[in-house]
Every structure is written in C-alpha cells, then in structure tokens.
C-alpha cells in the first residue's frame, strides 16, 4: 500500500495531537508520500486570512512523519491535472488557485501506479468520489478511524473522543461508538 496524504487531512490532523499520533501509528508501517504541492498549499493557507490559517501553520510543523516532500515538477501532465481539478471542483468557483490542485496531481500520478495499491487520506468528499476513477482507495480521517475500530486497533471510545475534538475545532461532526463500529458515518464514510 501507498498512502497519499492531502492538505485537508493534514489540516484536520493538526486540530488534535492525540488523533494525529494515532493516525501516525496506523500509517507508520506503510509507505507514505508527501507531495511538494501539498506543502505549497499549506504554506499558502498559513499565510492567508482564512479559517484554516492556524491549523495549516500547525500542520506545517508536523510533517516530519511523512518524510521529505516529493518534487512533482516532472511527475505529472499539467493539462491532465487541470482537467481533473475541473471535475473535482464540480462547477463551483475555486477558493484559491491551489484548491484541489494537489489532490488532482495525486489522482494523475496514481493512474500510472501498478506495483502498489494507492490510497488517499482526504477530507474532501468530491475528491474521494473522483479518486475512485483514478485507481485510488479513498479514506476520510473518520473512515480510517472506523476501519481501525472495526479491526480492533483502536477503541471506539477513543474514536468518539477524537471526533468530538474535531467537531469542537470545526473540522467534523459528532459520532457515536456504534457509528465507528458499524462504519455508518454518513457522508464522511462514503465513498
């Protein structure tokens, strides 16, 4: 397996240190990729005035577990990436020119992977839906927590506490232990 971690997930993980540590433990033994364009978007968000400013700045300080960012300059076709970005935005105006760019680049790159099963950790529902068309298995943070609960690697009470913490930071909703045990997480559980 190969995990791509996108900007939205890193911002979410920055909201709760214990949650980030749990996800680091879960993915720590698997290959992970941090793209330079994700770092670029985090820097852009951290320098801006938006709601994610503080969490983006915190996320920039927490990237060591992902290793050195991969230079994407020669790894993708920018026209194909732009086409994917257009699909992901779904006719909505972009909040900024970098919105969905990293995720679109991940999707373009994953189409050529044959020796590994690529997965993406993303909080963006549209990205999760479109990623299925590009050979990725999508997870939201909450869906990954549910997977960990159902496999016995995380206590359901801990998952609820993480969800409550994310809700308090404006990065999620409330879920019960039953929700995590069954995987019925509404929109964040799909696809």
pLDDT recorded at residue 21: 97
pLDDT recorded at residue 68: 97
Q: What are phi and psi of 3, to 5 degrees?
A: -100, 130
CA dist., res. 66 & res. 5, Å (int): 9
Inter-CA distances, 87 with 17, 70, 84, 100, Å: 33, 24, 5, 10
144-179: b (≥16 Cβ within 10 Å) or e? bbbbbbeeeebebebbbebbebbeeeebbeebeeeb
What are 161's two structure tokens?
Answer: 């506490």
CA dist., res. 51 & res. 170, Å (int): 9
pLDDT recorded at residue 19: 98
Query: CA geometry: angle at 68 spanning 59 and 23, to 5°?
Result: 50
pLDDT recorded at residue 81: 94
**DSSP, residue by residue, 152-173:** TSS-HHHHHHHHHHHHHTTS--
What are 146's two structure tokens?
Answer: 């549910």
Strands 2-5 and 118-121: parallel
Burial class (CB in 10 A: 0-12, 13-18, 19+), 114: exposed
Spell out, as residue ranges, where the chain has pLDDT lower than 50: none
CB atoms within 10 A of CB 107: 28
């Amino acid at each position: 397996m190969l995990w791509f971690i996108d900007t939205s997930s890193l911002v979410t993980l920055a909201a709760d240190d214990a949650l980030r540590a749990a996800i680091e433990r879960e993915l720590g033994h698997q290959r992970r990729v941090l793209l330079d364009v994700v770092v670029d978007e985090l820097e852009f968000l951290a320098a801006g005035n938006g709601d994610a400013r503080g969490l983006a700045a915190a996320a920039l300080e927490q990237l060591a577990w992902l290793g050195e960012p991969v230079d994407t300059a020669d790894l993708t076709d920018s026209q194909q990436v732009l086409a994917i970005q257009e699909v992901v935005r779904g006719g909505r105006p972009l909040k900024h020119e970098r919105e969905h760019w990293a995720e679109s680049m991940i999707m373009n790159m994953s189409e050529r992977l044959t020796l590994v099963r690529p997965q993406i950790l993303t909080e963006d529902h549209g990205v999760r839906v479109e990623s299925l068309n590009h050979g990725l298995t999508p997870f939201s943070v909450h869906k990954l927590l549910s997977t960990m609960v159902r496999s016995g690697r995380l206590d359901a009470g801990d998952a609820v506490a993480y969800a409550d913490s994310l809700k308090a930071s404006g990065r999620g909703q409330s879920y019960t232990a039953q929700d995590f045990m069954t995987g019925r997480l509404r929109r964040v559980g799909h696809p």
